[in-house]
A and B are shown apart, each in its own frame.
Chain A
Amino acid sequence: AIWMTQSPSLLSASTGDRVTISCRMSQGISSYLAWYQQKPGKAPELLIYAASTLQSGVPSRFSGSGSGTDFTLTISCLQSEDFATYYCQQYYSFPFTFGPGTKVDIK
């Protein structure tokens, strides 16, 4: 199985900040990576797939980049509704696995 790490595990930020979350793979996965946002008590929501393609309806302040083993999710101007936990997921190889998550909270 492919192991994934995310950093940081906790990120304290203010509205208007630019924030960056990293996701690293134990082996290369080309661009087979998705990002999700999860708010407390809610199901995850798909933000980005294929490492950098924005899901329909997702605000353009979200962007993704990377390929191979290193990936980044960027929120260009943090809004109040963006305080949540973010997960990456690889779908390059079976079993499909999720990162441990990065919680973005209010500074």
Chain B
Amino acid sequence: QVQLQESGPGLVKPSETLSLTCAVSGYSISSGYYWGWIRQPPGKGLEWIGSIYHSGSTYYNPSLKSRVTISVDTSKNQFSLKLSSVTAADTAVYYCARVAPGGYYFDYWGQGTLVTVSS
């Protein structure tokens, strides 16, 4: 059973960089598949942030591309998200997820972690 677990600071100051890590268990990232980040502002809908392949190739949402970096560490079986120059609008629950083998939908999700941007 594939399991994903997000970790990182729950509070980030405006203009700073949000950093999260997703630890994967039950599956080796280096074996394949894309892995992604999705976020959900409180009381709102879902927004895809970007995804990464085990080789390191990435796809980012154009609306966030200038501020997003996703990286993978196959030795630790984890991948990470960095979002720079954050504002209050970046306050959200951040989920990591696996992109399904049959298409670009998400079949396994982490539980999510709330990141609040505030001074």
Contacts and interface: CB of A to CB of B under 8 A. Distances in A.
Interface residues of A, number: 23
A87 interface: yes
B105 A95 contact: no
Contacts of A32: 103-104
Interface stretch (B59-67, B74-82, B83-91): B59-67
Given A34-B105, A89-B105, A95-B63, A46 B45 contact: no
Contacts of A71: none
Contact of B110 (A43, A96, A97): A43
SS of B interface (majority): loop
A62 interface: no
A99 to B, nearest CB: 7
Given A43-B110, A95-B61, A95-B63, A49 B102 contact: yes
A43 B107 contact: no
Contacts of B103: 32, 34, 49-50, 91
Nearest to B110: A43
Interface of B: 45-48, 59, 61-63, 95, 97, 100, 102-107, 109-112
